[in-house]
Amino acid sequence: MTAAEKFVELSEGEKRQVEGFETEVRKARARISGYKSCLDALGTVSEDVGARRRLEDRVEKEEGEIRRLERQIEESRERLSAFEEALKILAKKGKEPDLRAESMMAKVRDLIRQTGGPMTLVEIAKALNLDKKKKNSVRGSLASYARDERVFARGEGPETFTLIEFKNQSAKGGDGN
C-alpha cells in the first residue's frame, strides 16, 4: 500500500468517525428533547419529586455527552485536515511541475540533464550566459524548488544543484544518467 493510499484510508476512517459522532450528538439531542417534554408534562406540581430530579440528571448527563462528542468531532476534523494537507504535500513531493518550455528554470533543468549530474550555480550561470541579476534570480528559484523538493535538489557542496530524478536514480542504484 502506498503512502497516498494509507493517507486516503486514514482520511476515510476519520470521516466515518466524524459521521458517527454527529449521529450520536443527534441522538443525545433527541433524548434531551424527550426528557424535557417529560419534565414539562410533570409540571411544577409533581407527585414524584424524585422522578423530576432523575430526569433533570439525565438531561445534564446528555448535555455533558454532547459536549464530549463535540470536542471529539472537532479533534477528528483537525486530524482530517492534517491528512488532507499531507496528501497535498505527498502529491507535490518529487513531482515535476510543468515548467514553461522557454522559461529560465526549464533551461536550467535541461542543462543539468545534458551534463548528467550536479552543477554549481557558477557553472549554470556561465553555460547560460547569465548576468549578475539573472544569476541571483536563478539562485533564489533553485533554492526554492530544492527546498520544496520539486524538480531540483541540493547537491553536495555550496550552491550545487541537481535534479530530483538523478537523486531518485542514485537512491535506486542507478548511475544518474
- Note the pTM of the prediction, 2 decimals: 0.52
Helix (H) or strand (E) holding 31: helix 3-42
Last residue of a domain, one of 36, 60, 92: 92
21 plus 65 within the same structural domain: yes
Q: Both 118 and 167 in a single domain?
A: yes
Contact 20, 89 (CB under 8 A): no
Domain count across the chain: 2
Q: Are residues 44 and 22 in the same domain?
A: yes
Same domain (yes/no): 108, 79: no
Query: Is 35 inside any structural domain?
Result: yes
The domain boundary residue, chosen from 26, 61, 92: 92
- Over residues 8-22, the pLDDT tens digits come to 888 889 999 999 999
- Crossing angle for the helix pair 132-147 and 104-115, nearest 10 degrees? 80
pLDDT of residue 90: 72
Domain contains 110: yes
pLDDT tens per residue, range 59-117? 999 999 999 999 999 999 999 888 888 877 776 665 555 677 788 998 999 999 999 89
pLDDT digits (tens, 9 = 90+) for 149-173: 788 889 888 899 998 888 766 665 5
pLDDT mean over 27-43 = 92
